Amino acid sequence: MARSLKRAAALAVGAGLLAVTGMGGTAYAGSTGTVYVTVPGCVGTLKLDAGGSSNWATASLESLTSNTCWLTFWDTNTTKVQTVSQSFSVRGNSSGSANSPYYHDFEHRVAISISNGVTQRGSAWYY
């Protein structure tokens, strides 16, 4: 029972931290390529030119250990000051991807943040 309570607490902490770390960072204009964000045991990937288009971004996450990892994929509209996100987790020694891509351009910025339940890190914003 104590183990499941500890795991539930780690899940809550991991999810809560993502909301904080994904909201900061410097913006980089005209971005293409791939950005990697790592914390111990987890690697998050933000691919800025998915499917051959320089304006579509996708996000994926890989757990390199037996621990669960969390990722939040962010999109913010700087003109309308709206931010949307999608979050998911992967169990130990597995990987997964966000459900859908986000569009990025001069007004839409994208970012990812990841957590292993203890340590969290966010990327910069890219557009």
Residue 6's Cβ-side half-sphere holds a number of Cα atoms within 13 Å equal to 4
pLDDT score for 44:
98
Looking at residue 50, the DSSP 8-state letter turns out to be G
Number of domains in the chain: 1
CA distance 39 to 117: 10
pLDDT score for 2:
47
- Chain-centroid distance of CA 53 in Å reads 20
Domain holding 20: CATH number?
A: 2.60.40
Other beta carbons within 10 Å of 20: 12
Q: What is the pTM of this model?
A: 0.81
- Chain-centroid distance of CA 122 in Å reads 7
Cross-strand partners of 71: 88, 114
Residue 5 CB burial class (10 angstroms; 0-12, 13-18, ≥19)? exposed
- Tell me the pLDDT tens digit for each residue of 54-105: 899 999 999 999 999 999 999 999 898 889 999 999 999 999 999 999 999 9
Residue 40, domain extent: 2-126
111, 28 contact by CB (below 8 A) = no
